[in-house]
Amino acid sequence: MTAAQAAALPVLQLEQVARRRAGRVAVQDLGLALAPGQVLGLLGVNGAGKSTTLAMIAGALRPDSGAIRLNGEDFLEQPELARRLIGWLPERAPVWPELTVTEHLDAHGRLRGLRGAELRAAREAIVARLELQPLARRLAGALSQGQRQRLGLACALLHRPALLVLDEPANALDPVQVGALRKLIREQAKAGTAVILSTHVLVEVTAVCDRVAILHEGRLRYEGPVRGDDHAALERRFFEIAMQARAA
């Protein structure tokens, strides 16, 4: 593969991805593509399949069928690609309660292949960027949900992934932190990181996303660009899809 071909490839490509969970269809025939520097918002009501989709993209869950490609390579055949390429913040940001914030970041860094000076530099940079210094020696189990969310975000960003997968990243954050999160996501996109985030909050999508995908009952119902000033149009479309599906 030439450098030009590699540059033209989407970071993430989903082809006809399907997954059943607890005996019902969670995701069906899902196709998506995401280029470097793009921010895609994944919208949907509860149970639409957003978290399942993100867990499959992050490598935490195997699809039943379909293909997921990272930089053109089959991710399902090479799950180790996730190690350096993907940063994932799952819903509710789970933590190892016995580890301090610093130890958490070190453990995540090592699991993602960072070592020695590289790990220290990455940790210090992300601690400074997310203002985690006052929490550095605090046990993760003693953090508030908002602080856990910030720690989870730091872990996802630590190894400078090419694809950032954020599941409800604004959960439990105060309005100031939500503003800082939006700024951070835009910064990451500007630096070339592709970002996919799921949310219930429509304004979140219009504030930070370039594109939006609406999932309903596991199917992709709409995908298109987002114009920051067109919140009302997005809201109309979202409710149309939710109501149509309910009526059907």
Instruction: By CB under 8 A, name the binding residues for other proteins.
Output: 19, 21, 52, 55, 58-62, 79-83, 86, 88, 90, 92, 94-99, 103, 107-108, 110-113
β partners of residue 213: 42, 223
Least Å distance, CB 224 to other proteins, is 29
Measured from the CB atom, the residue of 160 and 231 that comes closer to other proteins is 160
Least Å distance, CB 241 to other proteins, is 25
Measured from the CB atom, the residue of 58 and 242 that comes closer to other proteins is 58
- Could you list the beta-strand ranges (E) of 144-237: 163-167, 194-199, 211-216, 219-225
Measured from the CB atom, the residue of 8 and 121 that comes closer to other proteins is 121
Spatial CB neighbours of 215, under 8 Å, sequence gap ≥ 6? 27, 30, 42, 43, 44, 48, 49, 50, 53, 221
Please tell me the distance from the alpha carbon of residue 131 to that of residue 145, in angstroms, as a whole number.
16
Least Å distance, CB 83 to other proteins, is 4
What is the residue type of 144?
S
Measured from the CB atom, the residue of 96 and 239 that comes closer to other proteins is 96
Least Å distance, CB 92 to other proteins, is 7
Spatial CB neighbours of 152, under 8 Å, sequence gap ≥ 6? 89, 90, 93, 94, 95
